[in-house]
Amino acid sequence: MEYNYALSSHAREEYLNSYWWYEEQQNGLGERFAFCLRTKLQLICSSPELYAKKGTRNHEASLDKPFPFIVVYVIDKKLNKVIITSIFHTSRNPRKKHKN
């Protein structure tokens, strides 16, 4: 069963900040980041249990190189939805990964 996804406001802000940062570094790099994220979100929605569960609720899926990010999400089986809680840059303090 295919799941839908929703970005939390926190994850949306992280995404937009990262997109524009990459785009400022090199024209088109933000688009590559967006494509990489969309591809990972499609994989998550097709098999949300595939990715490692961290703690009691959160799952984590790494983006492909060269983007050092982890997509943190929870699965709501009743709503058939994956809620993206963070698009977390791996250079940040990992203790902040699940605090949203």
Indicate whether 92 pLDDT > 90: no
For the chain, what percent of residues have pLDDT higher than 70?
Answer: 91
SS3 76: strand
The fold adopted by the segment(s) 4-90 is YaeB-like fold (3.30.2310)
Q: What is the pLDDT of residues 22-33, one digit of tens each?
A: 999 999 999 999
Q: Say if residue 48 is exposed, middle or buried (CB neighbours under 10 Å; 0-12, 13-18, 19+).
A: buried
DSSP alpha helices (H): ranges in the chain?
9-25, 29-46
Domain borders along the chain are 4-90
**Predicted local confidence at residue 39, as pLDDT:** 97
Average per-residue pLDDT for the chain: 91
Q: Which residues lie closer than 8 Å to 98 by C-beta, 6 or more apart? A: 54, 55, 58, 72, 85, 86
Q: What is the largest CA-CA distance in the chain?
A: 41
